[in-house]
């Protein structure tokens, strides 16, 4: 083997090895979107965000609020319940759900959730 | 080969040289820590590691002991005319320096000054001088060209032995490490990936050495020239490791760190060469292989039994080093250095095996190397999915060599490197850079009319919320705190902005984030809590730890508790004993503050708790310490009730930060911005006459910085909302908007390095960016305090980096400093 080859191949291996050694960037999900401020977004957009981050209470609350604004109280209730399933200690969710029930004339549901909300937001219910 | 004019055997002299190097290396490390303002303020001053203080005090004696042993080895040289001048010079200078050290011990008097840097740089020079003496006096062996077969055999054997060294106790570490959810199959597959990685790394090192050796040979060099090239590479590697791994972890940067790293690299190379020369002197050999001579400091020359014993011992060394350093480690530095030591020993011992390696054909070698590189490339391709990467990330917590390689591999892309530079520019600022803006925490503040309750603020250093029964139903060792919590506000989602005491305590007093500096200049102008206390005529009854001593050096209305103790000696039980006496004698309302250290990792690791079944599932030393804290807080509450003061007191129990207790292999709280470190307990008891008039949202995200604004609000001076850098009152009017804190993104950071993060979505999403370890993480924190990692997409990174940039910009405006980037 010639001198050039003897010195050449280790250097080539070093270059290739260094390239292989470096971690390649992870694959990016094309539809992945950051949904930090979805409060003025549409329900469809928030649902899209939720497919990437299904346990995001902020998103679920925003979805419920959006449904409430458009009069879809059943969908709003379902969204609140999904959020409460993730975070049962969220007093604000229970307070909002209580208001929703009261608005629909469901005094029992309203009272039940207001009591839970008051446990997490002491003083607020009085 | 002759033995030379040595009183002791060459092996004994080699040991003496190693001890000499170890002493001066320790001096250099201590002086470096002392020179770094960060390390001095955070470690040395509060005596976090008492062994460092012991070393400082014993250093004159250790110097004399080291010098005595060294001079014994030089005695024969004093009788040899050719070698006498150097030996006499070394002896005279050593004795003179020793007398000066006895009169004025430099490690004791230097403090945080430039003389510490001078000592850090000069002490290795001392070792280099001795090595030069050895190299010029010990017989020089004839060095022949390195054997390629020996080099690659050492690489292959070294890779396998070092891998076994850590894999041996993998099942034990899997059992002991919290937060690892890997199946047996996943562990086995990951261990296979780790072996492949080790083979690749060792092969690449061997190829790099081969390239350097051949370049030296083709440049006309002899075997001796090859040996010098190897020594140079060794010194450069040590310097690089010191700079990138050690200096970066103690925030020691700039030209001083470069010089110090270079000096230590030169010292290691010189000592290595000197010891190699001494050990080579024992062998009766005509010529020595350059690689073999390079390995001589570890296993000598031609001593097959010795090499085999060392290789066998190395099989367990990695696991032993990990077990003994994991809990006291700082940012994994000790474990990573341990890996490098194991690699070095395994490689050197394998290279020292005296049997002739099989002659390797160049073509076969190229094919074998290409196969290893190709296999590693295949492994990289096969493990690039997020699921596999997540499995390997968890495995890295069990396997320090894999963690080290993973951290080295993920070099930041250009954009990230630029962002790192931006973060560093905002970090560990010099006091002279800061010009805090004039600050009024609340407009028109006036003394509270009517009753003024006592205020007792317990900030238990490193207390984790999930070690309190009120937050975790599995805890059965905190009955008193649970009792206190029953008639208190228990904030479920409390966080600290900082993962270290150094900044979290100033932020508590300031009621907001502070400039990232070791010392806060003009803090009196931003000390919102003290201003409130002064306006309302409170006497301050306090433990004076090193941080509050800097923040509030002079206070005529202060009663100091625990006088004569260092910060790390503050024990809540003795503190409340003194407190009770002071409160009983007080004629004005009392404000109490203490930062007890009972739960701090450096304290609990020195204790041996009595086993108790209630500690099952918890780290027993911490659980036992928390139990002691609980008992003494319980006694204090009982005192308040007994003296009818309970319903006339605000009692706040919180922590400056949490702690990692083995989660993912992490211990302590150096740079980690992780849920278990950032979450804190926050329990606030109010007198009934205050409690009835306020409303709180216990499930909303809250911060340690909210304590001061809350006290303002309770005293009738609601501070204006000043943005996410500042705290807000935990207690609000009934019609207040509870959603505001939940929606905001909050900056969090390490007290010690340019590691920052963003907490958002009501404290359920924690994003962190770590330039020290070049890592980026996203955590989902659920209601129970458990967390799971989420993938960081480019969009997540962009949005959170933008938030970090924006809030650091606000901080720089608030504290009047500018950065170049």
What DSSP letter does each residue of A59-111 carry, written as one string?
HHHHHHHHHHHTT-HHHHHHHHHHHHHH-TT-HHHHHHHHHHHHHTT-HHHHH
Give the residue-averaged pLDDT of B62-68: 95
Contact B215 A7 (CB under 8 A): yes
Give the residue-averaged pLDDT of B33-40: 87
CB proximity list for B554: less than 8 A, separation 6 or greater: none
DSSP H or E stretch at residue B490: strand B489-490
User: Number of H helices and number of E strands within chain B?
Assistant: 31, 20
Does B649 score more than 70 pLDDT?
yes
pLDDT in the model for residue B386: 73
Contact B384 A24 (CB under 8 A): yes
Give the residue-averaged pLDDT of B612-616: 94
Residue A24: pLDDT band (50, 70, 90) is: low
Q: H-type helices in B104-144, by residue range?
A: 106-109, 114-137
Chain A residues within 8 A of B369 when measuring between CB atoms:
13
Percentages helix, strand, coil for chain B (3-state, rounded to 5) are: 60, 10, 30
Q: Which residue in chain A is spatially nearest to B785 when comparing CA positions?
A: A87
Q: Report pLDDT digits (tens) over A79-119.
A: 999 999 888 888 889 989 999 999 989 999 999 998 888 88
Residue B3: pLDDT band (50, 70, 90) is: very low
pLDDT in the model for residue B663: 87
Residue B320, sorted as left (phi over 0), alpha (psi -120 to 50) or beta, turns out to be: alpha
DSSP B682: E
What percent of chain B stands above pLDDT 70?
97
Q: What sign for the dihedral angle of Cα B235, B237, B243, B246?
A: negative
pLDDT in the model for residue B798: 84
CA atoms of B735 and B697, how far apart (whole Å):
12
Contact A36 B760 (CB under 8 A): yes
Q: Which residue in chain A is spatially nearest to B762 when comparing CA positions?
A: A58
pLDDT in the model for residue B589: 93
Q: Which of B376, B386, B698 sits opposite A20 (nearest CB)?
A: B376
Domains of chain B: residue spans and CATH: 10-408 (no CATH), 454-741 (3.40.720.10)
Q: Which of A20, A25, A55 sits opposite B780 (nearest CB)?
A: A55
CB proximity list for B304: less than 8 A, separation 6 or greater: B353, B354, B355
Contact in structure between B441 and B528 (CB atoms under 8 Å): yes
Contact in structure between B539 and B559 (CB atoms under 8 Å): yes
Contact in structure between B694 and B715 (CB atoms under 8 Å): no
Find, among B753, B748, B743, B699, the residue nearest to B725 by Cα.
B748
pLDDT in the model for residue A25: 55
Contact B696 A39 (CB under 8 A): no
Contact in structure between B780 and B788 (CB atoms under 8 Å): yes
Comparing B37-41, B598-602, B678-682, the range with the smallest average pLDDT is B37-41
Query: How many alpha carbons fall within 13 Å on the CB side of residue B81?
Result: 0
pLDDT in the model for residue A29: 45
Q: Report pLDDT digits (tens) over B751-808.
A: 888 999 999 888 988 999 988 877 888 898 876 767 888 878 777 888 889 899 999 9
End-to-end alpha carbon distance in chain A:
91
CA distances from B174 to B317, B371, B497 (A): 18, 31, 31
Residue B676: pLDDT band (50, 70, 90) is: very high
Find, among B421, B439, B522, the residue nearest to B813 by Cα.
B439
ipTM: 0.75
Give the residue-averaged pLDDT of A42-65: 84
Q: Which of B203, B207, B762 sits opposite A57 (nearest CB)?
A: B762
Contact in structure between A80 and A96 (CB atoms under 8 Å): yes
What percent of chain B stands above pLDDT 90?
58
Return the number of other C-beta atoms located less than 10 Å from residue B508's C-beta. 29
Give the residue-averaged pLDDT of B481-486: 97
Pairing of strands B667-668, B660-661: antiparallel
The pTM of the full predicted model, rounded to 2 decimals, is: 0.84
Test mutation, A25, A50, A124, A125, chain B, max B CBs within 10 A: A124
Chain B residues within 8 A of A121 when measuring between CB atoms:
695-699, 738
Contact in structure between B348 and B294 (CB atoms under 8 Å): yes
Contact in structure between B197 and B167 (CB atoms under 8 Å): no
User: When comparing pLDDT for B105 and A51, which is higher?
Assistant: B105
CA atoms of B152 and B162, how far apart (whole Å):
15
Q: Which of A6, A23, A91 sits opposite B214 (nearest CB)?
A: A6
**Nearest CA-CA distance, residue B686 and chain A, Å:** 13
pLDDT in the model for residue B6: 46
Does B446 score more than 80 pLDDT?
no
B764 touches chain A (CB under 8 A): yes
Give the residue-averaged pLDDT of B553-575: 91
SS3 (DSSP) at B695:
strand
CA distances from B450 to B306, B688, B715 (A): 82, 15, 10
Chain A residues within 8 A of B745 when measuring between CB atoms:
36
Output the average pLDDT for chain B. 89
Test mutation, A26, A33, A83, chain B, max B CBs within 10 A: A26
CA triplet B700, B706, B709: central angle to 5 degrees?
125
DSSP H or E stretch at residue B539: strand B539-543
């Amino acid at each position: 083997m010639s001198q050039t080859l003897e010195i050449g191949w280790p250097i080539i291996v070093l270059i290739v090895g260094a390239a292989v050694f470096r971690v390649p960037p992870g694959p990016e999900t094309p539809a992945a979107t950051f949904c930090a401020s979805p409060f003025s977004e549409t329900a469809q957009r928030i649902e899209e965000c939720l497919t990437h981050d299904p346990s995001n209470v902020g998103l679920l609350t925003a979805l419920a609020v959006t449904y409430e604004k458009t009069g879809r109280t059943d969908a709003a209730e379902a969204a609140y319940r999904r959020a409460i399933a993730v975070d049962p200690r969220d007093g604000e969710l229970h307070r909002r759900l209580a208001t929703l029930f009261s608005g629909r004339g469901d005094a029992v549901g309203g009272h039940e959730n207001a009591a839970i909300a008051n446990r997490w937001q002491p003083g607020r219910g009085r | 080969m002759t033995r030379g004019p040595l009183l002791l055997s060459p092996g004994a002299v080699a040991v003496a040289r190693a001890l000499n190097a170890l002493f001066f290396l320790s001096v250099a490390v201590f002086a470096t820590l002392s020179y770094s303002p960060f390390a001095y303020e955070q470690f040395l001053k509060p005596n976090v590691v008492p062994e460092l203080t012991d070393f400082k005090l014993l250093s004159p004696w250790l110097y004399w002991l080291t010098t005595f042993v060294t001079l014994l080895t030089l005695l024969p040289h004093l009788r040899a005319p050719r070698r006498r001048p150097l030996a006499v010079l070394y002896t005279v200078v050593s004795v003179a320096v020793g007398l000066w050290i006895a009169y004025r011990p430099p490690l004791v008097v230097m403090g945080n000054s430039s003389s510490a840097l001078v000592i850090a740089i000069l002490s290795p020079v001392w070792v280099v001088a001795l090595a030069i003496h050895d190299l010029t006096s010990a017989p020089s062996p004839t060095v022949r060209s390195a054997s390629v077969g020996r080099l690659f055999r050492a690489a292959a054997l070294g890779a396998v032995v070092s891998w076994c060294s850590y894999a041996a106790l993998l099942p034990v570490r899997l059992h002991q490490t919290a937060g690892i959810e890997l199946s047996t199959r996943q562990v086995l597959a990951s261990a296979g990936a780790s072996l492949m990685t080790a083979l690749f790394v060792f092969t690449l090192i061997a190829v790099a050495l081969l390239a350097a050796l051949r370049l030296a040979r083709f440049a006309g060099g002899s075997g001796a020239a090859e040996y010098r090239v190897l020594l140079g590479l060794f010194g450069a590697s040590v310097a690089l490791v010191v700079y990138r791994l050690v200096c970066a972890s103690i925030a020691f940067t700039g030209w001083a760190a470069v010089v110090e790293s270079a000096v230590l690299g030169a010292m290691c190379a010189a000592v290595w060469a000197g010891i190699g020369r001494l050990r080579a002197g024992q062998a009766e050999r005509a010529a020595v292989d350059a690689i073999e001579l390079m390995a001589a400091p570890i296993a000598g020359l031609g001593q097959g039994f010795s090499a085999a014993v060392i290789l066998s011992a190395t099989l367990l060394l990695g696991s032993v080093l990990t077990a003994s350093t994991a809990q006291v480690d700082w940012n994994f530095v000790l474990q990573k250095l341990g890996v490098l030591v194991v690699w070095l020993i395994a490689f050197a011992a394998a290279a020292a095996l005296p049997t002739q390696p099989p002659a390797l054909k160049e073509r076969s070698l190229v094919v074998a190397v290409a196969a290893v590189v190709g296999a590693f490339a295949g492994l990289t391709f096969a493990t690039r999915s997020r699921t596999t990467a997540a499995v390997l990330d968890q495995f890295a917590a069990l396997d320090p060599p894999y963690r080290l390689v993973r951290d080295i591999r993920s070099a930041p892309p250009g954009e990230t490197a630029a962002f790192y530079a931006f973060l560093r520019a905002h970090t560990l600022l010099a006091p002279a850079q800061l010009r805090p803006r004039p600050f009024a925490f609340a407009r028109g503040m006036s003394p509270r009319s009517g009753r003024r309750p006592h205020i007792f603020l317990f900030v238990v250093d490193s207390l984790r919320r999930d070690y309190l029964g009120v937050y975790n139903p599995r805890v059965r060792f905190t009955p008193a705190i649970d009792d206190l919590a029953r008639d208190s506000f228990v904030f479920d989602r409390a966080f600290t902005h900082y993962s270290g005491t150094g900044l979290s305590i100033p932020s508590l007093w300031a009621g907001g984030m502070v400039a990232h500096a070791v010392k806060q200049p003009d803090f009196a102008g931003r000390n919102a809590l003290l201003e409130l206390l002064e306006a309302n005529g409170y006497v301050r009854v306090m433990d004076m730890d090193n941080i509050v001593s800097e923040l509030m050096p002079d206070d005529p209305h202060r009663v100091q508790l625990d006088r004569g103790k260092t910060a790390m000696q503050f024990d809540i039980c003795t503190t409340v004993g003194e407190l009770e006496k002071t409160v009983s004698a007080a004629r004005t309302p009392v404000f109490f503050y203490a930062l007890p250290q009972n739960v701090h990792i450096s304290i609990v690791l020195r204790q041996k708790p009595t086993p108790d079944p209630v500690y099952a599932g918890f780290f027993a030393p911490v659980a036992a310490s928390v139990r002691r804290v609980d008992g003494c807080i319980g006694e204090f509450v009982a005192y308040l009730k007994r003296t009818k003061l309970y319903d006339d007191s605000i009692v706040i129990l919180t922590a400056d930060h949490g702690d990692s207790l083995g989660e993912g292999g992490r211990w302590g709280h150096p740079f980690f911005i992780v849920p278990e470190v950032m979450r804190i307990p926050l329990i606030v008891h109010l007198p009934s006459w205050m409690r009835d008039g306020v409303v709180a949202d216990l499930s909303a995200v809250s911060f340690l910085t909210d304590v001061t604004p809350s006290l303002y609000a309770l005293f009738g001076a609601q501070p204006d909302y000043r943005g996410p850098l500042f705290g807000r009152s935990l207690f609000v009017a009934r019609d207040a908007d509870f959603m505001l804190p939940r929606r905001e993104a909050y900056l969090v950071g390490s007290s010690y390095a340019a590691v920052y993060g963003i907490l958002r979505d009501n404290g359920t999403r924690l994003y962190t960016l770590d330039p020290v370890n070049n890592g980026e993480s996203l955590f989902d924190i659920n209601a129970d305090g458990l967390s799971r990692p989420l993938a960081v997409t480019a969009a997540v990174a962009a949005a959170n980096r933008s938030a970090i940039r924006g809030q650091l910009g606000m901080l720089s405006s608030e504290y009047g400093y500018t950065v170049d980037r």
